[in-house]
Amino acid sequence: MPYFSNDNLSLFYSEQGRGELLLILPGNTASSSCHKGELDYFGQNHHAVSPDFRGTGRSQRISSWSQDWWDKCTEDIASLISHLGKKQCVIIGTSGGANIALLFAIRYPEYVSGVIADSSAEIHSPERLRKEVSDRSCRTKEQVDFWTYAHGEDWEEVVSADNRLLLDLADRGGNIFKGGLKTVKCPVLFTGSLKDSFIHDIGEQNINMSKQIPNSRVFFVNEGDHPFMWSCPNVFRSVCEQFLKDLSMM
């Protein structure tokens, strides 16, 4: 199984296909295991790679998820790109993975030729974050099955750590980017469902984010849910294909 190392951690990734590097970043409490469909699809024309972030999936567990976990994940991605022998990539991130994709474009612009940010927000209201953590306590069969599939038998450890991360973000106001979106130079595509049950103001949020990035576009539909990538996969993939085609012609 493919692993790479960064910061003295053993980190896992799944891959499919050959060609230009396309990274697929999972959302909170998900992992690369959840993106087999995306790897199979995008791996037809790209070297599609999905990492397990530190402390998640089949990557090494960490003792604590500190406030800089998001930034540390961008460092891991930079290490992964170097490990794969690539100089640039396109990144597709969904939900929390979209936040990391945009953070990576802010911190490592030389590595990124384009970003697709699905079902994302610039500012997550503290109330929304705390409600998400509360909803996870239901431990429905669907939730447990998903987390077990994503992380294995120690899923409770992972989910609890992610809960603390979100609560800490809520205490800090829910803003990850802190004005950094204005420095993003690469083309960005924002996608989402206007019926997103987690980000109720996704339309307004994504338009405001797009206004800060000169070379950006926004695509919404009035169907589906959170994340759009999974709730409307055919539409999502079609829009992504056009964006990737446009990037290849630049």
Domain count for the chain, please give it: 1
CATH number at residue 65: 3.40.50.1820
The string of pLDDT tens digits covering residues 83-126 is 999 999 999 999 999 999 999 999 999 999 999 999 999 999 99
Is 149 within a domain?
no
Is 192 within a domain?
yes
Angle (deg, nearest 10), helices 96-107 and 69-83? 70
Is 153 within a domain?
no
Lookup: tokens for 55? 């402390």
The string of pLDDT tens digits covering residues 27-67 is 999 999 999 999 999 999 999 999 999 999 999 999 889 98
Is 52 within a domain?
yes
Q: What is the pLDDT of residue 221?
A: 97
pLDDT at 226 over 90: yes
Q: Domain of 231?
A: 3-123+178-248
What's the pTM value of the predicted model, to 2 decimals? 0.97
10 alpha-carbon distance from chain centroid: 20
Q: Compute the mean pLDDT over every residue in the chain, rounded to the nearest whole number.
A: 97
pLDDT at 237 over 90: yes
Is 165 within a domain?
no
Asked whether the beta carbons of 216 and 183 are under 8 A apart, the reply is no
Q: What is the pLDDT of residue 33?
A: 98
